Structure 1
């Protein structure tokens, strides 16, 4: 589990409320909590609009997750990954470094990852005598674990909205078909100027 004091950004990057919030979220992980990282990523993809993130930002997160060696995010392990921008770019399909930095910042601003900068701004890990990772500097995935329940809820809501939209589209398609055929009937069988009604209907359909 992530703990300790607040870490401020290295160099000219200023501290933001989003960065500060991400570090506090990282500490709010229930003991023993764990989640499958790829299942959680799929939920993120479903909830991307509600979280305000783009496909490119998700591609960078996918690359970050690939550097976490376990398939399960757990508060019992170090959740900090520390790839270089070169390594990240390779796993993000050759994304340019400036673009990579922008999407990393978007992940921090969205509260999905937290920066844990080293004294010199480099990303690395120091191992203990038994070979385990002791202190690591890079990007913490702890906010993902802490917010996994919220992310899954947002994904479920997005899926429910998708199904409802599909249902409404089906109803609209049926209504359009029924109205068009009823207009054809009156044009053929009832006296009167029905041409304007047909034109109005066509204008409505085109607008949709």
Structure 2
């Protein structure tokens, strides 16, 4: 059993599947210096969506999430965190209804394409990095 890594459950108080746990463990082992072009990755995911088992509407949501990430290269050094509001995410997902948006976010989490971290009360939050000079 690993210690020191807190694996999160997906939003909506669902149980954590073994597949999600394995995906989170693999993500924690990624080389921090590795990077990939987000649009090349997205195109590859679109081509392989039948193999992955993800719908085209879920890919629309993923595309919208990627537009919130400021750099073209996805890397651990860049933070890999976006936290748009549901309203802004819906607008970039071509006006997708809130319930539909939540369903497709859930599908992205279940396939391991994204992780969602919520606070204990179920609300999203941004974690600020602690700097050495902060007091």
Pairwise TM-score range, normalised by the shorter structure = 0.7 to 0.9
Instruction: Give the secondary structure class of the aligned counterpart of 2:103.
Output: helix
- Relative to structure 1, is the Cα distance of residues 86 and 16 closer, same or farther in structure 2, using a 3 angstrom cutoff? farther
- The higher radius of gyration belongs to 1
How high is the TM-score relative to the length of structure 2?
Answer: 0.82
Tell me the residue number matched to 1:80.
81
Q: Which residue of 1 aligns with 2:63?
A: 62
Contact 1:10 1:119 in 2 (8 A): no
| Alignment partner, residue 35 of structure 2 | 34
TM-score, normalised via structure 1 length:
0.55
CA contact (8 A) 1:7 1:116 kept: yes
More helix, by proportion:
1
Partner in structure 1 of residue 128 of structure 2: 127
Cα 1:129–1:32 change in 2 (3 A) is closer
Q: Corresponding residue for 2:26? A: 25
The DSSP-based 3-state class of the residue aligned with 2:29 is coil
Are the structure 2 counterparts of residues 35 and 16 from structure 1 closer, same or farther at C-alpha, using a change threshold of 3 Å?
A: same
For these two proteins, the number of residue pairs brought into alignment is 128
Deviation of 1:103 (Å) = 0.9
Alignment root-mean-square deviation, CA: 2.1
Higher relative contact order (CA 8 A, sep 6+): 2
Alpha-carbon contact 1:10-1:118 (below 8 Å) kept: no
Bigger strand fraction: 1
Corresponding residue SS for 1:41: helix
Cα distance, 1:74 vs. partner?
Answer: 0.6
Q: Secondary structure at the match of 1:73?
A: strand
